[in-house]
Every structure is written in C-alpha cells, then in structure tokens.
C-alpha cells in the first residue's frame, strides 16, 4: 500500500463536509476495518438510492448530497468512506462484455458497447488487499447456497452483500456456480485511485453511446429486487434467469 491509496482525490473527496458528515454517522471510531466496511456498505444501500447514469467522475460529495447514484458512484462512496478511516483502496480495471448488461437493458442493447470498463475496488484490511466481493466473507464459502447474480434485478452494488459476485472464477467448482469470469474479456491492471483509471483509460460517459444512454436512462431508478440466499430445494442448482 502507498500514500496514493489513502489520500483524497477529486472523485474520492472524503475531506469534503458532505462526505465527512456521512462518514461520521457510520459506527464508532474503534470499529474493525471489516466491520466498518460492512456498516458503510449497508448505509450507502439504505441512504443512496440506485439510479442509472454514466457520470463516473462525479465527486462522492455530490453523490451523497443528491442521495442517489449508480453502481460505480456508490462504489466510489464506499472507497471514500474507507479512506476517511485510513483504510487503503485501489481499483482493478476490468473490461466486461456488453452481454453482461443485456438482461438489465434489453431495449438499449444498441447503445451498450462490445466491452464496458468496470472500476472494481479492493480494500487494504488485515494486512492484505481484499476485493469488495469478499468484504462479507470468502466467495467459495458463500457461493454454495447463493443465488447467482444475473444482473436482472438487484444492483451489482447490493449483490456483493447477498451473493458471491465472482469475476475471477474462484467459485467455478461450486455446486451452484456464481462464476462471472466468462464476462471478463480483458483486464488493464490495478490503479491506486479510480481518478487515475479514468484519466488513463477513459469512461463510458465520454463516448457517443454513453451520452445516448444518459439521455435514455439518466436519473431513472435502477431495479432493486431483494434476492434470496437459499432458493427452494428444487431450484438449488438452477441459476436465476
């Protein structure tokens, strides 16, 4: 971990008044890092409603002030809150196939590019980097009884607390596979801050497709259907569709 993993950035502006107030409302100062991350994730889920937009470079203070944001903005909120408690963050650059969003946006497929950049954050806890997907426990342990994420209901941000969101193929051998690695078409390394990632690789919001998507969906409430960790016995090995 280095200094860049802890400092405020334009997006991760945890030194702003809005973000400091939000951070101060989350649990006692002596919480363990993992306990704080869980509480912060739950607070964001409750207080910042999911909407569709492509404005990934929006500062966290703006998202908190508006009390709404899409997955990337809400992930940025979690990163900023972590840094406010001296928990280091960074982001992996994952390129996901546009097919990953087909079920969520069946009408807008023409505006979803062949691949979409996902800034996926790990956090430095207990002396090591741990992906957001494992804040609530090891993927392999959680996948056995989990309903796989199908991207047709709850948001990706909520899903990390309710199922095993696995972009690395760790759950490939589990009886109920939560393996999403088939959607990862490329990786572009690890960045010390999401600002650095977008500066180097760009963002969907910069493209004509992104601008068209914003016109069609910007500000609309995202689907957020609660999921069941334990489906009925006769559906245990059938992925949700």
Q: Which residue has the higher pLDDT, 103 or 232?
A: 103
At residue 186, the pLDDT reads 97
When pLDDT is cut at 50, 70 and 90, the band that residue 157 belongs to is very high
Helices (H), 138-241: 139-143, 156-162, 194-201, 208-217
Domain count, the chain: 1
- Residue 47 in contact with residue 25, Cβ under 8 Å? no
Q: Does residue 64 fall inside a structural domain?
A: yes
In angstroms, the CA 216 to CA 113 distance is 15
Q: What is the mean pLDDT of residues 146-174?
A: 88
In angstroms, the CA 40 to CA 35 distance is 9
Domain span at residue 23? 3-135+189-228
Query: Does residue 233 have a pLDDT over 60?
Result: no
Q: Which of 34-48, 77-91, 95-109, 198-212 has the lowest mean pLDDT?
A: 95-109
Beta bridge partners of 49: 68
Query: Does residue 52 have a pLDDT over 50?
Result: yes
At residue 210, the pLDDT reads 86
Query: Does residue 235 have a pLDDT over 70?
Result: no
Q: Residue 69 sits in a domain of what CATH number? A: 3.10.620
When pLDDT is cut at 50, 70 and 90, the band that residue 196 belongs to is very high
- Residue 241 in contact with residue 104, Cβ under 8 Å? no
Percent of the chain at pLDDT exceeding 70: 90
At residue 228, the pLDDT reads 37
Q: Does residue 79 fall inside a structural domain?
A: yes
Q: Does residue 195 fall inside a structural domain?
A: yes
Query: Does residue 240 have a pLDDT over 90?
Result: no
Query: Does residue 237 have a pLDDT over 80?
Result: no
Q: What is the mean pLDDT of residues 48-63?
A: 94
Per-residue model confidence as pLDDT tens digits over 69-115: 999 999 999 999 999 999 999 999 999 999 998 888 877 677 788 99
At residue 175, the pLDDT reads 56
Q: Does residue 238 fall inside a structural domain?
A: no
Query: Does residue 57 have a pLDDT over 90?
Result: yes
At residue 24, the pLDDT reads 92
Q: Does residue 25 fall inside a structural domain?
A: yes
Q: What is the mean pLDDT of residues 210-216?
A: 85
Q: Does residue 63 fall inside a structural domain?
A: yes
Phi and psi torsions of 221, nearest 5°: -65, 135
Q: Does residue 182 fall inside a structural domain?
A: no
Q: Does residue 180 fall inside a structural domain?
A: no
Q: According to the per-residue pLDDT averaged within each range, which of 33-42, 102-111, 224-233 is highest? A: 33-42
């Amino acid at each position: 971990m280095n200094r860049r993993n802890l400092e405020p950035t334009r997006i991760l502006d945890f030194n702003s008044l809005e973000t400091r107030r939000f951070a101060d409302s989350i649990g006692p100062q002596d919480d363990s890092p993992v306990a704080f991350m869980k509480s912060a994730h739950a607070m964001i889920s409750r207080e910042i409603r999911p909407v569709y937009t492509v404005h990934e470079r929006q500062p966290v203070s703006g998202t908190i002030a508006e009390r709404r944001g899409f997955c990337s903005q809400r992930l940025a909120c979690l990163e900023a809150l972590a840094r406010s408690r001296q928990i280091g963050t960074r982001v992996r650059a994952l390129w996901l196939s546009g097919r990953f969003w087909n079920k969520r946006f069946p009408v807008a497929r023409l505006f979803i590019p062949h691949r979409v950049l996902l800034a996926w954050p790990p956090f430095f806890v207990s002396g090591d980097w741990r992906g957001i997907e494992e804040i609530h426990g090891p993927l392999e342990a959680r996948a056995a009884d989990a309903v796989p994420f199908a991207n047709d209901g709850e948001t990706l941000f909520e899903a990390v607390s309710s199922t095993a969101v696995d972009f690395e193929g760790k759950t490939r051998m589990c009886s109920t596979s939560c393996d999403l690695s088939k959607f990862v078409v490329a990786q572009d390394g690890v960045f010390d801050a999401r600002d650095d990632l977008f500066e180097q690789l760009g963002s969907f919001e910069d493209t004509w497709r992104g601008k068209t998507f914003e016109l069609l969906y910007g500000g609309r409430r995202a689907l957020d259907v609660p999921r069941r960790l334990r489906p009925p016995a006769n559906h245990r090995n059938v992925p949700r569709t």
